Amino acid sequence: MRDEDGAVALEPPPGESPIVVLVRPQLAENIGAAARAMANGGLFHLRLVAPREGWPGPGQTNRAWATASGASRILEAAQVFATLDEAVADCQRVLGTCPRPRHVVIPLHTARDAARELRAAGARGLRHAVLFGPERAGLEAEDLARCDALVRYPLNPGFSSLNLAQAVMVMAYEWWVAADATPPRQLQTHKTRVATRGELEGLMAHLLAELDACGFLRNAAKRPGMVRNLRHCFTRGEITEQEVRTLHGVVAELSLGRMRRGRPEG
């Protein structure tokens, strides 16, 4: 689903969000897909280092714009550099994503911790960037030597190769979540609210009266247990006030039907 307004609305002030640096990206469609992932996570600033097919190269443009799926302003504002040194020359904090262990002495962050690190850098007013290597090979040793720290996502070690846009997605997602206040779980109640115990008891009273009338609870010894079990059915989940009213109707209609059936034919 395109969301041009969203794409237009999402530009954060420079310095407040990390600059995404794609180092020697190979395919235009991956650059576009990365831009879409950036938009999903509220990132905006994109820098390209020596894109293999050039930027925007012949025919490239459309392919990138297509996979960007509405995040076109990120592509339009993207800056292109010949070398990584030029791309990060104005940055004060640089993290590099690196899926595979490399023989370097450098701090290593999980994606989640890196997100906190980036948020902290932004809060300090430091211009900060995250580097993503080429599709196949990833960042080279010379690239890593330009990073303050590396980011390695905890993922299935048996299958750790991420698509470029997927790698950007995970980092953008973690960056967004690092400042998100959504409660982990809530009950979405549309134009209604969770029923009170009083409303629930009203339903139970109605139900029990009808069940007594039809003899379902005739076994006096078993009655208390059966009533408790019925009560548990309604208290296990959070029944809403609207659902209580619906269930009142269900009980009434079922009893009515029973009485109708009870009436002699013709």
Residues in contact with a copy of itself by the rule CB under 8 A: 1-3, 5-7, 9-10, 33, 36-37, 39-42, 69-71, 101, 103-113, 117, 136, 149-150, 152-163, 165-166, 169-170, 173, 176-177, 180, 182-192, 240, 242-243
Q: Which is nearer to a copy of itself, 225 or 249 (CB)?
A: 249
Q: Which two tokens stand for residue 122?
A: 């932004």
Q: Which two tokens stand for residue 236?
A: 């296990």
- In the complex, the smallest distance separating the C-beta of residue 63 from a copy of itself, rounded to whole angstroms, is 14
Would strands 93-97 and 46-49 be described as parallel, antiparallel, or unpaired? unpaired
- Cβ distance 77 to 45 under 8 Å? yes
Q: Which is nearer to a copy of itself, 88 or 171 (CB)?
A: 171
Give Cα separations from 64 to 14, 71, 210 (angstroms).
Answer: 23, 10, 65
- Give the type of residue at 80: V
Q: Which is nearer to a copy of itself, 63 or 211 (CB)?
A: 63
19 in helix, strand or coil?
strand
Q: Which is nearer to a copy of itself, 159 or 233 (CB)?
A: 159
- In the complex, the smallest distance separating the C-beta of residue 184 from a copy of itself, rounded to whole angstroms, is 4
- In the complex, the smallest distance separating the C-beta of residue 194 from a copy of itself, rounded to whole angstroms, is 9
- Cβ distance 133 to 98 under 8 Å? yes
Q: Which is nearer to a copy of itself, 69 or 255 (CB)?
A: 69
CB burial of 213-223 (b: ≥16 within 10 Å; e: otherwise) equals eeeebeeeeee
Rounded CA-CA distance 262/266 in Å is 12
Q: Which is nearer to a copy of itself, 136 or 261 (CB)?
A: 136
Rounded CA-CA distance 174/155 in Å is 14
- In the complex, the smallest distance separating the C-beta of residue 206 from a copy of itself, rounded to whole angstroms, is 21
Q: Which is nearer to a copy of itself, 83 or 160 (CB)?
A: 160
- In the complex, the smallest distance separating the C-beta of residue 163 from a copy of itself, rounded to whole angstroms, is 7
CA of residue 48 relative to chain centroid, distance: 26
- In the complex, the smallest distance separating the C-beta of residue 170 from a copy of itself, rounded to whole angstroms, is 5
- Cβ distance 26 to 134 under 8 Å? yes
CA of residue 140 relative to chain centroid, distance: 30
- In the complex, the smallest distance separating the C-beta of residue 17 from a copy of itself, rounded to whole angstroms, is 11
